[in-house]
Structure 1
Amino acid sequence: MDLSVSCGGEKENFAIILGLIAMQLLYGSFSVFMSRVLSTGLNPQFVVIFGSLLTAIILSPVAFFLEKGKRPSKLSPRLLIQFFCISVGGVTAFQSLLLLGIHKTSPAIASAMPNLSPSLVFLIAWFIGLEVVDLRSGRSWAKIVGTLVCLGGAMALAFLRGPSISHWLTSQAPDDDMFIGCMYLLVAVFALSCVTILQAATLMHYPAPLSLCAITYWMGSVFTAALHVVQERGFDLGWSQLSPAALFGAALVGGFVNGTSFSFQAWSIKKKGPVMVSAFHPISTIWSAILSFLLLGHSLRLGSIIGMVLVFIGLYLVLWGKNKDRYALPLPLEANNEGDLLEKQERIKPLLG
């Protein structure tokens, strides 16, 4: 019996690791794909609107059947306001700015910037009193130093240039576009970090993450469409420059990537915790850099490489500190396995601890 349980656990661990690697490769490929599509003149809001709509369609039936007993029967005004803020921040603002950042910089830089999110979440949570920091603790100093290193890496991405690592390639964003694109990405990651904190607070009263995601994607697609109509005084999303098949493909790929990746990531976090899932994020940056080099002729400058390395170092310092936070909690003796242990620790730890 013990042997069969152990084999089952090893198979599950192997499946999670392979799935997380595949998910990051998918994200990196999607960044390169979107960079190519946006270069044809397609409005980024098209991808946000229809990609979010398809994501909601994919997630809604899954959430309906898997979270039947978890959703509250009534929605309070407070929850509705939280849904609105998550939709605007996590869909309309984050995705639109991320796509603008991809278009202005490169897929590699655009996929590196979101690695700042754990550091910014820690910084914001510490500022508003949701994160406990003990300056006598090594794990707290790891998170502080990691946050500073991450921010330094972001500044290096935005300001440092240096020589190109491949002089025979000429496809390189102008310096002005690179700076503006990095600013788009920084604001996008800040919005994502704020939404992450708000999601954590919302899930305490609405413990159905898949349903929350489906609802906010529905709302986000509507809000983004309304914002576009107000901004442009019409609904021209640049589709006159692409064939219907290409437009449908762009929306379908966006919806598929978002829907499947979110579902698998949510399951992986439940099984192994957020630290392990976050540790795989740099894979997408490396993969997108390789693909954009081979397929789009993009080249990285030395400053960008230094910035990415600093972001990765800072990310792993923060993750190490957060992982130590989890193991520093008192262990519930009644936990029967690692999944139960993680679930019970989630109940007793601070909101973002």
Structure 2
Amino acid sequence: MEWYKSKEVVEEVGVIGGLIVIQFLYASNSVMLSYLMSLGLNPLTFVYFSSFATFLVLSPVAFSFERSMWPKKLSLRLMVQLVLISFSGVTLFQTLFVKGVKLTSPAIATAMLNLAPGLIFVIAWITRLEKVKLSCLYSKVKILGTVLCVSGAVTMSLCSAAEEAFHSSLARDTTFDQQKIIGCFYLIAAVLALSSNSILQAVALAEFPAPISMCAIMSLIGASMTAAVQLFEDHKLDNGWPFLSFGKLVAFSFLGGGIGGSCIGFTCWAIKKRGAVLPSMFNPIATICSVIYSAIRLGDTINMPSLAGMVLMFTGLYSVLWAKVKEGYQPNEEDCFESGLHAEKPLLS
């Protein structure tokens, strides 16, 4: 019994410690992206190189641990779902996110990702995967939390853009920095794509219950689709940065893809062990780390109104997560019922 308890403690420490480390890695990755984009690297190039690197990292893990869960044959329905998941999760989300990082900052980009749980709730509500009863306290809290998240995102976007314009030599001619506004719209669209991707994955996981394998396949298909998009747009595959050698491009891509693949693999394991809510609770750490990294490495700063917007987003995030936990563990209350998105199950699976 003592051995079993000590094993549980070690596993708990490993899960929590790993989730904290992951947030540091995500923040570092965002800062690296911002630096590379500032030097002129084409966002599409980085997306398909790093996505292919993610595939190379995840595929051996998927083959070793999940091949027994692979379906005997791929139905047409599942293949269409995998293509849609790849397009929304890689080509659409990552391209929009990288472009958003380029036009804003790593701190704003990682903060915007905290919109995801609220948007997932809204999309799941619309598609009837999430049950909502307005007489239920937890449903009201989730709606309020989502409103706070969106309000925080809008506040942070406008205040950040206003500060940039104020310090600009063109401040007398404009109220807001248009590039920052566009960048924030890119990020919001990216989070919307990510949230929709979570819904699509939930449906596909019912037929293909191997999340790491699905992420590996998604990365490979997404890399191919992103390269095709660049060929269609530019009629060539070009990194957009003539001073970057192919070797350095591969090195940066494998660094980003390796970080992404490792984080995805560990997060899937943590979700399996502790449910989807726990990993989401650590998301704000990446934002805080990005603010510190950006201030040290890139010289970026964040004003007080933007910081207040972040706090609003974090408050909304934890409100949604609190309601999710309570709803999952107290399904038999008179005016409430258990959500289809259980706190101890992978999100939307």
TM-score normalized with structure 2 length: 0.91
Any idea what the Cα deviations from partners look like across 1:147-175, whole Å, max 9, x if unmatched? 0100101111222349869x99x9xxx71
Distance in 2 of aligned mates of 1:315 and 1:135: 19
Q: How does 1:107-122 map to 2 (within 5 A)?
A: 107-122=106-121
Equivalent position to 1:194, from 183, 193, 196: 196
Contact 1:42 1:241 in 2 (8 A): no
Residue in structure 2 matched with residue 293 of structure 1 by the alignment = 295
Residues 329, 345 of structure 1: 8 Å contact kept: no
1:44-123 matches, within 5 Å, as 44-123=43-122
| Counterpart Cα distance in 1 of 2:119 and 2:344 | 23
Give unmatched runs, 5+ long, in structure 1.
331-341
The amino acid of 2:154's aligned partner reads M
Deviations along 1:241-284, one digit per CA (max 9) or x if unpaired, are: 21334312220111111110000000000001111110000000
2:328–2:343 contact (8 Å) kept in structure 1: no
Aligned runs of 1:301-340 on 2, under 5 Å?
301-329=303-331
Aligned residues with identical type, % of pairs: 43
Q: Structure 1 residue 287: deviation in Å? A: 0.3
Task: State which of 263, 269, 272 in structure 1 corresponds to 2:271.
Answer: 269
Q: Provide the secondary structure at the position in 2 that maps to 1:101.
A: helix
Tell me the secondary structure at the aligned position of residue 130 of structure 2.
coil
Equivalence map 1:13-32=2 (5 Å): 13-32=12-31
Residue deviations 1:178-209, cap 9 Å, x none? 10000000000000000001101110111111
Match for 1:264: what amino acid?
Answer: F
Counterpart of 2:229 in structure 1 is 227
- Structure 1 residue 344: deviation in Å? 11
Asked if the contact 1:115/1:282 (under 8 Å) is kept, the reply is: yes
Residue 300 of structure 1 aligns to a residue whose secondary structure is coil
Relative to the length of structure 1, the TM-score reads 0.90
Matches of 1:243 and 1:306, distance apart in 2: 41
Which deviations, in whole Å up to 9, do the C-alpha atoms of 1:291-345 show, x marking residues without a partner? Answer: 1001110011223212111110000000011111221247xxxxxxxxxxx9996
Kept in 2: contact 1:119–1:318 (CA 8 A): yes
Give the counterpart letter for 1:142 in structure 2.
Answer: V
CA separation of 1:184/1:163 partners in 2, compared to 1, >3 Å: closer, same or farther?
closer
Whether the 8 Å contact between 2:54 and 2:260 is mirrored in structure 1 is yes
Question: Match of 1:134, SS?
Answer: coil
Q: Write the distance in 1 (CA, Å) between the matches of 2:348 and 2:238.
A: 41
Do the aligned partners of residues 163 and 87 (structure 1) sit closer, same or farther apart at CA in structure 2, a change above 3 Å counting? closer
Distance 1:155 1:352, change over 3 A: same
Going from structure 1 to structure 2, the CA distance change for 1:345 and 1:301 (only over 3 Å counts) comes to closer
Q: Cα offset for 1:81?
A: 0.6
Output the aligned Cα RMSD: 2.4
What corresponds to 1:249 in structure 2?
A: 251
Instruction: Give the equivalent residue in structure 2 for 1:334.
Output: none
Question: Mapping of 1:173-212 within 5 angstroms?
Answer: 175-212=177-214
Q: CA deviation at 1:4?
A: 1.4
The answer to which of 110-119 and 59-68 deviates more is 59-68
Is the CA contact (8 Å cut-off) linking 1:105 and 1:178 kept in structure 2?
Answer: yes
Deviation, 1:108, is: 0.3
Instruction: Report the secondary structure of 2:285's partner residue.
Output: helix
Equivalent residue for 1:240?
242
**What is the aligned partner in structure 1 of residue 151 from structure 2?**
152
